[in-house]
């Protein structure tokens, strides 16, 4: 390993105290550093071990609570299993996304009642967008909902449909009454091989 790589490893775990002009080790890693010798191999093991320990994102802690509505209970039960394994972003942001997606699932269960969360189609999202517009939501808020729906949809394993880009979803929203156009979009975005 070259000098540059060693400097990178050292600087990632040492903090330069500019007032005193000397290096100090992060306090939480002092105990581990004392146990290890100062050889380059042990320093590399020290960096690898702590990097893997701190590189794991916490699992979202959510539970499913029965609502008494069979379609919503079925979708939420499936969604909780997806949400617990989802990674990406901070814990707080994933929690906000989780709560926002539950609003979409509530609408979906009430209006369409799909059997499986994997069966969410582009027309379901377009109908939800129309519902938001009828409630008087702003364009920015609608785009926020679309972003969150898309983020969670990508994390659903074995999903049967991909979500199209926003332009096509907005076109679909305008033509929801046209059955032929809805079927065309549905077939175009059906995942192959499932």
Max CA-CA distance within the chain?
A: 73
Determine the pLDDT at residue 57: 61
**What is the distance of C-alpha 28 from the center of its chain?**
30
Determine the pLDDT at residue 55: 53
Determine the pLDDT at residue 53: 43
With a CB cutoff of 8 Å and minimum separation 6, the contacts of 77 are: 64
Determine the pLDDT at residue 9: 43
Determine the pLDDT at residue 66: 86
Asked whether the whole model's pTM tops 0.85, one would answer: no
Among the listed residues 14, 13, 10, the one whose alpha carbon sits nearest the alpha carbon of residue 40: 10
Query: 169 and 122 in contact (C-beta within 8 Å)?
Result: yes
Determine the pLDDT at residue 88: 81
Neighbours of 191 (CB within 10 A): 11
d(CA 82, CA 186): 23
Please give the helix or strand (H or E) that residue 185 lies within, else none: helix 179-188
Q: From the first residue on, what is the mean pLDDT of each consecutive set of 10 residues in the chain (194 residues)?
A: 47 43 44 47 40 55 83 91 84 90 95 92 96 96 96 92 95 94 94 75
d(CA 160, CA 116): 10
Determine the pLDDT at residue 67: 85
Among the listed residues 167, 163, 67, 166, the one whose alpha carbon sits nearest the alpha carbon of residue 119: 163
Determine the pLDDT at residue 2: 52
How buried is 132 (Cβ within 10 angstroms: 0-12 exposed, 13-18 middle, 19+ buried)?
Answer: buried
């Amino acid at each position: 390993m070259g000098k540059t790589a060693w400097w990178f490893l050292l600087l990632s775990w040492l903090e330069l105290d500019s007032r005193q002009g000397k290096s100090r080790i992060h306090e939480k890693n002092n105990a581990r550093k004392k146990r290890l010798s100062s050889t380059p191999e042990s320093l590399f093991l020290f960096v690898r071990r702590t990097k893997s320990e701190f590189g794991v994102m916490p699992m979202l802690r959510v539970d499913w609570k029965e609502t008494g509505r069979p379609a919503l209970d079925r979708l939420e039960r499936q969604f909780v299993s997806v949400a617990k394994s989802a990674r990406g972003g901070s814990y707080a942001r994933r929690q906000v996304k989780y709560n926002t997606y539950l609003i979409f699932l509530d609408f979906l269960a009430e209006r369409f009642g799909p059997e499986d969360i994997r069966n969410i189609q582009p027309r379901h999202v377009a109908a939800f967008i129309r519902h938001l517009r009828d409630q008087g939501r702003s364009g920015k808020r609608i785009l926020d909902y679309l972003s969150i729906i898309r983020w969670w949809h990508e994390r659903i394993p074995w999903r049967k449909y991909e979500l199209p880009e926003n332009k096509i979803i907005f076109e679909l929203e305008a033509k929801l009454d046209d059955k032929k156009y809805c079927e065309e979009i549905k077939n175009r975005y059906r995942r192959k091989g499932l």
